[in-house]
Amino acid sequence: MRFQGFGTDACRFYEELAEDNSRDWFAANRARYEAEVRAPLEYLLDDLADEFGEGKVFRPHRDVRFSKDKSPYKTNAAAVIEGDAGARSLYVQISAEGLMIGGGAYHLAGEPLDRLRAAIDDDRTGRELEEIVADLRAAGAQTGAHEQLKTAPRGYPKDHPRIDLLRNKGIIGWWEHPPRRWLHTPKARDRLADGWRRLGPLNAWLDANVRTD
């Protein structure tokens, strides 16, 4: 096991980046980013790869081509493990706010979204998902989606018993852990692994009902 915790300066790094999100500042502090944030994140993924699969660390640069906000850098470091068909994932993020652990289907469109809604509408699979969501909430997770309709999707009644799930354009669960001492110790790996295991039933449901391959 290579992961010994995120650097004690990791969250402060992102506090300072938010105050001066410039290329000059990042260049002057790149060594902090590499040592306190990126290397520990890569070690963390390596330690958990045998159980959860290979992860990908996102680049620190923002895509500003179509954004009014031209700040060049993301104010978090994140990584994802994607499912075979891209219908579900596992996610981890560190920022000034601490550690976020999540997973599921962040945003669906087209055929995968149609399959999600059909599975929610079906009494058997829809009730299965309700139970999974209830278990996640009981474990302290938040649940939802990247985007939610204000009303029922076309073809579904507004009084559907699972209307809140049907309005989602995806389904995710996540925990937000504020900065604590354990974040800088191997306990962070255990906390992440526990969260990803708890998300297993949700991702298994998505594999069974949403993936199209």
For 164, the domain range is: 10-209
Return the pLDDT at 84: 66
Asked if residue 4 is part of any domain, the answer here is no
Token digits of residue 159: 């009084």
* CATH number of the domain where residue 85 is located: 3.30.930.20
Residue 5 lies in a domain: no
3 assigned to some structural domain: no
Assigned domain for 1 exists: no
The CA dihedral of 65, 88, 125, 139, to the nearest 10 degrees, is -100
The whole-number pLDDT of residue 85 equals 60
147, amino acid identity: E
Could you say which residues of the chain have pLDDT below 50? Answer: none
- How far, in Å, CA of 95 to CA of 78, rounded? 9
Instruction: Read off the amino acid at residue 114.
Output: D
**Cα–Cα distance between 141 and 100 in angstroms, integer?**
11
DSSP 110-169: HHHHHHHHHHHHSHHHHHHHHHHHHHHHHTT-EEE-S-B-SSPPTTS-TT-TTHHHHTBS
Can you say how many angstroms the Cα of residue 68 is from the centroid of all Cα atoms in its chain? Answer: 25
Q: How many domains does the chain divide into?
A: 1
Q: Can you give the pLDDT at residue 69? A: 86
Question: For residue 105, what are the β-bridge partners?
Answer: 171
The answer to the question of residue 137 being in a domain is yes
How high is the pLDDT of residue 212?
A: 63
Residue 182 has a pLDDT of 98
Residue 64, in any domain of the structure: yes
In a domain, 66, yes or no: yes
8-46 burial code (b ≥16 CB/10 A, e <16): ebbbebbeebeeebeeeebeebeebbeebbbebbbbbbe
